[in-house]
Amino acid sequence: MEDDILSYSLADFQYNDNPDVLAPPEDFEKWINNPRISASFSFFEQQLLTAPKASTEILSNIDHKKRKVINLTSYNYLGLSSHPEVIQAVIEGVKKYGLSASGAPLLSGTYDLHVKFARMLADFKQKEDCILYSSGLGGNYGAIQGILRKNDYFVLDEKCHKSLVDGGLLSGARMLFFEHNNIRSLGMMLEKAKGKRTLVAVEGVYSMDGDLVKLPEIVKVCESYNARIYIDEAHSTLMFGENGRGVAEHFGLEEKMGVSFGTLSKSFGGVGGFVCSNAKIIRYLKCYSSPFNFSCAPSPPVVAGLIKALEVATRDSNLRDKLWKNVKYFKKQLLDLNLDLGGTESQVIPIIIGPSGEKLFKMAAEVQKRGLFLQPVDFPAVPANARRFRISVSSQLTREEIDQACNIIEDVIAKGLKK
Ligand SMILES: Cc1ncc(COP(=O)(O)O)c(C=O)c1O
């Protein structure tokens, strides 16, 4: 292992036969303590010292210095996390309700704010009802585990988020994966599930590649097999579609979505998750969805902020327009540098580096020292031959910040790739 330490990854240490159940595998300890591996891990859990705005400050794990950085890594796509009206709503919320809901929703954790916000979200997504969760991950777990049963089929795009995969495992349903956005492959899986209760999971925007679901084709094949669709719009709600309702709106296919999931931690700038669907299944979910009925309800002041965030983001298209202007400008600059941006069609823009983890982490340290907060993404989160940086464009970025970021990307990444 010492000789080829860099050829190992987190994909290799899930099996654990250490006799002490509270000890990791011995090889894992050896691996993670190797200086080259621990250097790559130093990019994790770096501390932000101010709000996740376009310009922020971090305490770097690389050289333990405080550093002002242009932030290309947070999911605060519309800047709502620190929007003045949102902050004011949170302050008023915390004064009135305190910090915690102090109870699970069915017993003592439901406040007027939760009911109001769930109604607003259901109306926004044009569904009959909505259930709120304290996290996006919990929402996907809870909805899938609450809807599917042992003899059902859960058919997922292979690039679906871990929360959907884990929700499927919890449900006990038979799980089948289809090749990413490949309609033929989906058809083959649906053929296997023929005649069974089947739910197909897709994402509006895929979070590592920034490409869109091929929804029109997927709807067509699902309808022919009587399969229902669950769309995760974590990275598309408030951004796609004429009214910001997401990729389903963008394609004019909202009515065909059986379930519309969203997270509140990305464009909404808060934390939590929500699931919109028909009123009967939402009522059923409230009885059988563990992350809902066995967990504390979302913090009321956060919900107060989220209500305001939804109002701000939907009262006009200003924030969305700014975001797409930035995406267009940023993308053009990057393409002019001849960088490989994969198939991005959204505010998530990967810069694909290739198979060398060493190159990726060397560049990552350098861009950070030059003033960019741009995190590397390594295997197994992405394929081993397509390690990358992943830019999350925000409406808050100014032209100057984008230009400055592109100068650093050119010097470090574009030139580094030519070496
Ligand atoms: C596609 C997708 N779904 C669900 C989640 C979970 O959301 P949260 O981070 O709000 O728990 C994420 C988070 O990154 C995601 O990318």
234 lines ligand 1 (CB under 6 A): yes
Q: Phi and psi of 95, rounded to 5°?
A: -65, -40
Helix (H) or strand (E) holding 228: strand 228-232
The amino acid present at 210, given as its one-letter code, is G
135 lines ligand 1 (CB under 6 A): yes
**Cα-Cα-Cα-Cα dihedral sign, residues 184, 186, 189, 195:** negative
pLDDT at 6: 79
The alpha carbon of 295 and the centre of ligand 1 are apart by a number of angstroms equal to 18
The alpha carbon of 263 and the centre of ligand 1 are apart by a number of angstroms equal to 6
pLDDT at 7: 84
**352: pLDDT strictly greater than 80:** yes
Cβ contact 407:238 at 8 Å: no
**222: pLDDT strictly greater than 90:** yes
The alpha carbon of 190 and the centre of ligand 1 are apart by a number of angstroms equal to 26
393 lines ligand 1 (CB under 6 A): no
CA distances from 219 to 25, 160, 180, 269, 415 (A): 44, 17, 15, 30, 43
The alpha carbon of 175 and the centre of ligand 1 are apart by a number of angstroms equal to 20
Atom of ligand 1 nearest to the CA of 205: 1
**pTM, to two decimals:** 0.96
163 lines ligand 1 (CB under 6 A): yes
CA pair distance 55, 350, nearest whole angstrom: 20
Residue to substitute in 73, 81, 207 for testing ligand 1 pocket (most ligand atoms within 8 angstroms of CB): 207
CA distances from 83 to 55, 74, 79, 126, 319 (A): 14, 15, 6, 26, 11
CA pair distance 334, 391, nearest whole angstrom: 11
**2: pLDDT strictly greater than 80:** no
| Closest to 310 measured CA to CA, from 253, 270, 347, 254 | 270
Looking at every residue in the chain, the average pLDDT score rounds to 96
233 lines ligand 1 (CB under 6 A): no
Mean local confidence (pLDDT), 19-31: 94
The alpha carbon of 136 and the centre of ligand 1 are apart by a number of angstroms equal to 5
Q: How many helices and strands (H and E) does the chain possess?
A: 16, 14
CA pair distance 121, 24, nearest whole angstrom: 43
The residue contributing the CA closest to ligand 1 atom 7 is 136
Q: What domains, with CATH codes, occur in the chain?
A: 35-71+318-418 (3.90.1150.10), 81-315 (3.40.640.10)
Task: Please indicate whether residue 127 or residue 2 has the higher confidence score (pLDDT).
Answer: 127
Strand partners, 391: 349
The residue contributing the CA closest to ligand 1 atom 10 is 136
pLDDT at 114: 98
**1: pLDDT strictly greater than 80:** no
Helix (H) or strand (E) holding 350: strand 348-354
388 lines ligand 1 (CB under 6 A): no
392 lines ligand 1 (CB under 6 A): no
CA pair distance 99, 91, nearest whole angstrom: 10
289 lines ligand 1 (CB under 6 A): no
Cβ contact 37:63 at 8 Å: no
Encode pLDDT of 45-82 as tens digits: 999 999 999 999 999 998 899 999 999 999 999 999 99
Encode pLDDT of 30-41 as tens digits: 999 998 888 888
| Closest to 335 measured CA to CA, from 344, 51, 298 | 344
> For helices 136-147 and 279-288, what crossing angle results, to 10°?
100
* Distance, first Cα to last Cα, the chain: 28
Atom of ligand 1 nearest to the CA of 264: 10
CA pair distance 229, 30, nearest whole angstrom: 44
pLDDT at 419: 83
Encode pLDDT of 288-301 as tens digits: 999 999 999 999 99
Mean pLDDT is lowest, of 40-44, 91-95, 267-271, for 40-44
pLDDT at 215: 98
CA pair distance 58, 104, nearest whole angstrom: 35
pLDDT at 86: 98
State percent of the chain over pLDDT 70: 100
Go through 355-394 and write b for each residue having 16 or more CB atoms within 10 A of its CB, e for each that does not: eebebbbbbbbbbbebebbbbbbbbebbeeebbbbbbbbb
The alpha carbon of 87 and the centre of ligand 1 are apart by a number of angstroms equal to 23
Mean local confidence (pLDDT), 351-379: 95
Atom of ligand 1 nearest to the CA of 135: 11
The amino acid present at 39, given as its one-letter code, is A
CA pair distance 409, 174, nearest whole angstrom: 44
The alpha carbon of 54 and the centre of ligand 1 are apart by a number of angstroms equal to 21
CA pair distance 305, 308, nearest whole angstrom: 5
Encode pLDDT of 144-180 as tens digits: 999 999 999 999 999 999 999 999 999 999 999 999 9
How many residues belong to the chain?
Answer: 419
The alpha carbon of 417 and the centre of ligand 1 are apart by a number of angstroms equal to 31
The alpha carbon of 27 and the centre of ligand 1 are apart by a number of angstroms equal to 30
Q: Give me the sheet containing 348-354, strands edge to edge.
A: 348-354, 387-392, 376-377
The alpha carbon of 281 and the centre of ligand 1 are apart by a number of angstroms equal to 22
**276: pLDDT strictly greater than 80:** yes
State percent of the chain over pLDDT 90: 94
CA pair distance 411, 351, nearest whole angstrom: 14
CA pair distance 70, 54, nearest whole angstrom: 6
pLDDT at 403: 98
Atom of ligand 1 nearest to the CA of 163: 4
Strand partners, 131: 275
347 lines ligand 1 (CB under 6 A): no
> For helices 399-409 and 318-336, what crossing angle results, to 10°?
30
The residue contributing the CA closest to ligand 1 atom 8 is 136
161 lines ligand 1 (CB under 6 A): yes
The alpha carbon of 291 and the centre of ligand 1 are apart by a number of angstroms equal to 15
pLDDT at 153: 98
The alpha carbon of 273 and the centre of ligand 1 are apart by a number of angstroms equal to 8
